[in-house]
Amino acid sequence: MEIKALQVGALGTNCYLLCDEATKVCAVVDPGADANRVAAAVAQTGCTPCAIFLTHGHDDHTGGVADLQALWPEVPTYLNHRDIYPDDPRAQQLFPLLSGDIRDYDEGDSLSVGSLTVSVMATPGHSEGSVTLRCGDALFCGDTLFAGSCGRTDFQGGDMEKMMASLKRLSALEGDLQVLPGHMDFSSLDRERRVNPYLLHAMRGTI
Ligand SMILES: [Zn+2]
């Protein structure tokens, strides 16, 4: 397993390439913008893209999807259905509707990236459909868990109580996993369990 990160778009969204060197297959997590840069980075790995995984439906994470679909028409995109608002134009400003091969994924699902297995945890709070993806010791947290912080809960579908429950679940995972958030710095779960005030509150159940 090899993971490459690149920052894309005006809000500096972390886009990740999850590569299986054994089979030369990769997945793209959160191509928020700059599809051409993302595609060039994928080409550099020598891997064939097999999936686009979205941690949630916000436009700064999904902005590159349409252009990548045009480049890779056979590659499916995964997004939890709770972040799709087909009948709510106001919500669509933040959760733009995607077209093409969009597939649902949810708690307990497992997906293959070559010989790697990606498992899905539903971690609502930042949005209803936020998920955290785990592959080996890597956690792709989207805007749920940040280094030293957590995602906002004041957007549509946001909920602080659910965020705390999601953070509590993440805090209970065994081992010092890599924390790969949707924005800003990378971290580790042990470090976050020590210093992240939101995670500490969630672990103590004081919010
Ligand atoms: Zn977001």
**Burial class of residue 149 in the structure, from the number of CB atoms within 10 Å of its CB (0-12 exposed, 13-18 middle, 19+ buried):** middle
Which residues, in sequence order, are CB contacts of 167 under 8 Å at separation 6+? 125, 144, 145, 150, 198, 199, 202, 203
Residue 65: pLDDT above 60?
Answer: yes
CA of 23 to the centre of ligand 1 (A): 32
CA of 103 to the centre of ligand 1 (A): 19
DSSP classification of residue 67? H
- HSE-up (13 A, CA, CB side) for residue 175: 8
Q: How confident is the model at residue 205 (pLDDT cuts 50, 70, 90)?
A: confident
Residue pLDDT, tens place only, 70-112: 999 999 999 999 999 999 999 999 999 999 999 999 999 999 9
Site of tokens 């886009």: 15
Sign of CA dihedral 128, 134, 137, 141: negative
Q: What is the C-alpha to C-alpha distance for residues 115 and 95, in angstroms, rounded to an integer?
A: 32
- Average pLDDT rounded to a whole number, residues 118-135: 98
CA of 175 to the centre of ligand 1 (A): 26
Which residues, in sequence order, are CB contacts of 50 under 8 Å at separation 6+? 25, 26, 27, 75, 112, 113, 114
Percent of the chain with pLDDT over 70: 99
CA of 20 to the centre of ligand 1 (A): 27
Range of the domain at 199: 2-204
Residue pLDDT, tens place only, 143-154: 999 999 999 999
pLDDT for the residue 4: 98
CATH for 105? 3.60.15.10
Longest dimension (CA), the chain: 48
CA of 56 to the centre of ligand 1 (A): 7
Q: What is the C-alpha to C-alpha distance for residues 37 and 48, in angstroms, rounded to an integer?
A: 15
Q: What is the C-alpha to C-alpha distance for residues 158 and 61, in angstroms, rounded to an integer?
A: 16
CA of 67 to the centre of ligand 1 (A): 20
Q: What is the C-alpha to C-alpha distance for residues 55 and 121, in angstroms, rounded to an integer?
A: 10
Q: Is the pTM of this model over 0.95?
A: yes
> Based on the structure, what is the number of domains in the chain?
1
Residue 207: pLDDT above 90?
Answer: no
Query: What is the edge-to-edge ordering of all strands in the sheet holding 116-122?
Result: 110-113, 116-122, 131-135, 138-142, 178-181, 187-188
CA of 63 to the centre of ligand 1 (A): 12
